Amino acid sequence: MHQAKIFAPTSQKTIRPFQPAEAASFIGIGEGYLRQVAAEGYGPEPLANGRRVYLPTDMDRIRQVLDEKNGVAKYVPARRPGEKLQVISVMNFKGGSGKTTTSAHLSQYLALRGYKTLAIDLDPQASLSALFGHQPELDVGEGETLYGAIRYEDPRPISEIVRSTYTPNLHILPGNLELMEFEHETPKAMASGQVATMFFARIGEVLADIEDLYDVVVIDCPPQLGFLTMSALCASTSTLITVHPQMLDVMSMSQFLSMTSELMSVVERAGGRTSYDWMRYLVTRFEPNDGPQSQMTGFMRAIFGNRMLHNAMLKSTAISDAGVTKQTLYEVERNQFTRGTYDRAMDSLNAVNLEIEELIRSVWGRR
């Protein structure tokens, strides 16, 4: 009922059109150059008031046109021969650290930047799925989560489970409570000794079947260190650990990392992959004017050094208000908020996501 009311008349979410300044930023050019390209006939038709707004499909078309005109692959960011699929696990042991919010905005940002992106909801609570328009109780049936592809009996091809979203370039593997079955079935399967592929290799194995279709995979891990999380870590090329800068949260993260280290060393001895291209800590829900938070962030930077992302995700009412209507900040209109509040949140969000994008590009050997 909530969804039907908010997204009337179709009850389906759609991606909004973007203003020229936003579109130019996503494409990676200046706004003046974008107006020139549009005037040459490569942009969308002007509105009645003479202004143009850009859908993600328009931005993709302009990227292709610019690369064709320049004769080099500069604006279309797709993986090139020799560049491996990037699989990023967003994780922490503690709920409320901003994993789902970070995963959702990172996935959508990369898609809007032109990367073929797959978001995987590994959390049985399935908040990421709901945020992208797939209500776990209503829209996700049996065998329609990643569990359907990695279960020990009668697994489904992962290509049958992947869904498109209303954001071009972004696909999703939704989640629901059936993901917990993997935690229950794995001990039985290991005890029986009849498992062809060990639990920690199963996610990586099914992702290999579709890796040619994507540039980046973002995995929203559950807030627990179970078989799902360990399998995701073995499938990952990179890890992003979200942390709220308060003492109890940092202490909890310390315990989580200690347990992870011990368990992953066991997995490594059994043949699992545990080397990563990069691992970073992201400070989330940060309030710059909060003295203890600033002190805690400085403490973490002193310990972790360059393993901390330079940018932090600010705590903002704009993000929480957008969540009321199950939308990301990229989906809501600026005029729905106080401009200063919206702009601060968006600047913070883009700075974090750009920093992660640069890490991805550096692994590929690009500037």
What kind of fold does domain 86-364 have according to CATH?
Rossmann fold (3.40.50)
Q: What per-residue confidence (pLDDT) applies to 145? A: 95
Instruction: Evaluate whether 121 touches 128 at the Cβ level (below 8 Å).
Output: yes
- What is the DSSP code string of 222-277? -SS-SHHHHHHHHH-SEEEEEE-SSHHHHHHHHHHHHHHHHHHHHHHHTT-----S
The alpha carbon dihedral of 344, 350, 353, 359 has a sign of negative
Q: What percentage of the chain reaches a pLDDT higher than 70?
A: 96
Q: What per-residue confidence (pLDDT) applies to 196? A: 67
Q: What per-residue confidence (pLDDT) applies to 151? A: 92
Domain boundaries, the chain: 13-70, 86-364
Class of domain 13-70: mainly alpha
Q: What's the whole-number mean pLDDT along residues 175-195? A: 87
Residue 259 has pLDDT above 80, yes or no: no
Q: Which residues contact 187 (CB under 8 A, 6 or more apart)?
A: none
Instruction: Evaluate whether 114 touches 75 at the Cβ level (below 8 Å).
Output: yes
Q: Which residues pair with 243 in a beta bridge?
A: 283
Return the residue matching tokens 């962030």: 297
Q: 333 or 8: which carries more pLDDT confidence?
A: 333
Q: Which long-range contacts (CB under 8 A, 24 or more apart) does 134-139 make?
A: 134/163, 134/172, 134/174, 135/3, 136/174, 136/175, 136/176, 136/177, 137/176, 139/174
Mean pLDDT of the chain: 88
